[in-house]
Amino acid sequence: MSQTLGLTLADRQSATFIADSGFRLAVLGLTVYTASFVCETVRAGVNTIPLGQAEAARSLGLSFGQNLRIVLLPQAFRAVVIPLGSVLIALTKNTTIASAIGVAEAALLMKEMIENTAAVLVVGGIFALGFVILTLPMGLLFGWLGKRLAVAR
């Protein structure tokens, strides 16, 4: 990967490769995983725009880049605000997967707290409340923004 992207996560010959670069690998994995959903959401937003709009822009002499920047993407953005909010909320919840490679995040901390205190319901409730506190305002914000930017078609 260092030759392709110019990134060096860690020394691959090291016996503790994953432990040394767990956070970087988690960020890379979540980025690649979430990028596919963002691309699909934006593609769906572009598909909501009538074909005649792109044809009209081409007939005016706009290049492909100008067509995207001036005509298609501003309209597509309005259509994808709420779905992109859902992707962001899913990303927030998916960060718990990083505990699989040893990154100290919510799921790993919750596991350690349960092992040390045995207050399963209290610890689980606290972490569930934390995720509600993180995701509920995001959902409300993107819902409000989606209604504000909605276009009647």
* pLDDT mean over 132-143: 92
Note the pLDDT of residue 12.
64
Asked whether the whole model's pTM tops 0.85, one would answer no
Q: Does residue 82 or residue 8 have the better pLDDT?
A: 82
Q: Is the pLDDT of residue 64 over 80?
A: yes
At residue 19, the pLDDT reads 61
Residue-number span of the structural domain to which 33 is assigned: 2-149
CATH number of the domain that residue 13 is part of:
1.10.3720.10
pLDDT score of 96: 78
Domain count, the chain: 1
DSSP characters over 76-143: HHHHHHHHHHHHHHHHHHHGGGGGGGT--SHHHHHHHHHHHH--HHHHHHHHHHHHHHHHHHHHHHHH
What's the confidence (pLDDT) of residue 67? 94
Q: pLDDT value at position 112?
A: 73
pLDDT in tens, 72-131: 999 999 889 999 999 999 998 888 777 666 666 666 677 777 777 767 777 778 888 988
Say yes or no to pLDDT of 68 above 80.
yes
Residue pLDDT, tens place only, 12-58: 666 666 566 777 778 888 999 999 999 999 999 999 999 999 999 99
